[in-house]
Amino acid sequence: MRFERKTNFEIFDIIYKKEFITLIFSLLNSFFSKKTPKEPEPIPNIDFSEPVGLPMICCFNSEQITPLMGVCGTPSYPFDIYCNIVVKSKPKDGIVDIREIDSLSSSKSDTKYFSTLEDFGSFIFDDIQRNSPHELKGWTIEACKKHTDSDLFRPSTQLERIRWNGRTELKNSGGSHHFGVARYLISQGELYPGGTQIELPIFERYIDSVFAERAFKDWHYFIVHEKVLQSIQQIYEREDFNDVSMCRISLNNKDNKDRIIAVNLKDIETNFRRQNLLDELITASRDETCNTQYRNLISKKCIDMNTLILDALVLQQKNDHQHHYTFTD
pLDDT at 298: 58
Task: Quote the CA–CA distance of 203 and 112 in Å, as a whole number.
Answer: 25
Q: Is residue 53 in a domain?
A: no
What tens digit of pLDDT does each residue of 262-313 get?
888 888 888 787 888 888 889 888 865 555 455 555 568 888 889 888 888 8
CA 3 vs CA 6, 18: distances in Å:
9, 22
Contact, 296 vs 279, CB < 8 A?
A: no
139 falls in which pLDDT band (50, 70, 90)?
A: very high
Q: Is residue 39 in a domain?
A: no
Query: Are 171 and 217 within one domain?
Result: no
Task: Quote the CA–CA distance of 104 and 116 in Å, as a whole number.
Answer: 10
pLDDT at 66: 67
Interacting residues of 251 by C-beta distance below 8 A, sequence separation 6+: 54, 64, 67, 258
Amino acid at 231: S
pLDDT at 77: 75
Q: Is residue 268 in a domain?
A: yes
The strand ranges marked E within the chain are 86-88, 92-97, 103-104, 158-162, 167-171, 197-207, 219-225, 244-248, 258-264, 303-304, 325-327
Give the residue from 207, 237, 259 where a domain finishes.
207
254 falls in which pLDDT band (50, 70, 90)?
A: low
Total-model pTM = 0.76
Q: Is residue 140 in a domain?
A: yes
Q: Domain residues for 201?
A: 87-207
pLDDT at 15: 47
Give the residue from 178, 207, 236 where a domain finishes.
207
Q: Is residue 326 in a domain?
A: no
Query: Are 257 and 296 within one domain?
Result: yes
117 falls in which pLDDT band (50, 70, 90)?
A: very high
Query: Are 180 and 260 within one domain?
Result: no
Query: Are 177 and 232 within one domain?
Result: no
Query: Are 185 and 101 within one domain?
Result: yes
Q: How many domains in the chain?
A: 2
Query: Are 264 and 225 within one domain?
Result: yes
Query: Are 162 and 216 within one domain?
Result: no
Q: Is residue 27 in a domain?
A: no
Query: Are 154 and 246 within one domain?
Result: no
pLDDT at 89: 92
Query: Are 202 and 221 within one domain?
Result: no
Query: Are 229 and 198 within one domain?
Result: no
Give the residue from 167, 183, 207 where a domain finishes.
207
Q: Is residue 264 in a domain?
A: yes
Q: Is residue 51 in a domain?
A: no
- Selected residue with higher pLDDT from 70 and 311: 311
Query: Are 198 and 214 within one domain?
Result: no
**Angle (CA) 64 59 186, round 5°:** 155
Q: Which of 13-17, 213-217, 297-301 has the lowest mean pLDDT?
A: 13-17
